[in-house]
Amino acid sequence: MKKNKFKSTTILGVRVGKKVALGGDGQVTMGDIKMKSKAIKVRDFSNGSVLAGFAGAAADAMSLFERFEGKLEEAHGNLQKAVVDMAKDWRTDKVLKDLDALLAIMDNKNSYLLSGSGDVIEPDGQIISIGSGSGYAIAAAEAFIEANVKNPKTIVHKSLTIASEICIYTNNEINILEIK
């Protein structure tokens, strides 16, 4: 039986107008042991117009990022088509099907959560998150948005910092990418 490794990080994306920021903490854990504190779990695609982050097994996520990049190129930058095509492959491909990761993907208009079971979820609102600290990060981000904070990078940084203070699988070595 495969172990669920999704609890080992926090990825948070926020959109305010057409500005987007997606960030993640740097902690890598194996069970209850911290193995690394400065991993980079977010990446940009399509000349910085698409951002993605992962939760789960790092090697699996790197394979998924490569495959997603190919799908995005095939779709000529059409994020929705690339995500749907990726989900179809992930659900049916014998190798991909066993990969243990979740992806959070955003551009300046759309947000998607993508899983190996073929799920494509387009969250409501302007916040997207995966990983063990998601609930904390989402709550903090919603509070900052309600308090009229307009800079998504600031919201992501402060929210991930709060999550790192609560979630033992999330640290404060935060990497953030932006679409302006």
DSSP letter string, 30-67: ETTEEEES----EEEETTTTEEEEEEE-HHHHHHHHHH
Query: pTM of the predicted model, to two decimals?
Result: 0.92
Residue 19 is predicted with a pLDDT of 96
Structure tokens belonging to residue 74:
């095939």
Residue 165 is predicted with a pLDDT of 97
Residue 2 is predicted with a pLDDT of 46
Residue 61 is predicted with a pLDDT of 80
Reply yes or no on whether 9 is catalytic: yes
Is the pLDDT at 153 greater than 90? The verdict is: yes
Residue 1 is predicted with a pLDDT of 36
Euclidean distance between the first and the last CA atom of the chain, given in angstroms as a whole number: 43
Q: 16-39 burial, b for 16+ CB within 10 Å, e for fewer?
A: beeebbbbbbbbbbeeeeeeeeeb
Q: Which amino acid is at 11?
A: I
Residue 21 is predicted with a pLDDT of 98
Mean pLDDT of 65-93: 92
How would you classify the pairing of strands 127-131 and 50-56? unpaired
A 10 A CB-CB count for 102 gives 21
CA-wise closest residue to 169 among 26, 57, 61:
26
Mean pLDDT of 24-32: 87
Among the listed residues 9, 10, 29, 170, the single catalytic one is: 9
- Summarised one tens digit per residue, pLDDT across range 100-150 is 788 999 999 999 999 877 789 999 999 999 999 999 999 999 999 999 999
Average pLDDT value over all residues in the chain: 90
How would you classify the pairing of strands 42-45 and 111-115? unpaired
Residue 135 is predicted with a pLDDT of 96
Is the pLDDT at 83 greater than 60? The verdict is: yes
Give the integer Cα–Cα distance in Å for 70 and 64.
10
Reported as a pLDDT band with limits 50, 70 and 90, residue 158 is very high
User: How many Cα atoms within 13 Å fall on the side-chain side of residue 38?
Assistant: 0
Residue 91 is predicted with a pLDDT of 82
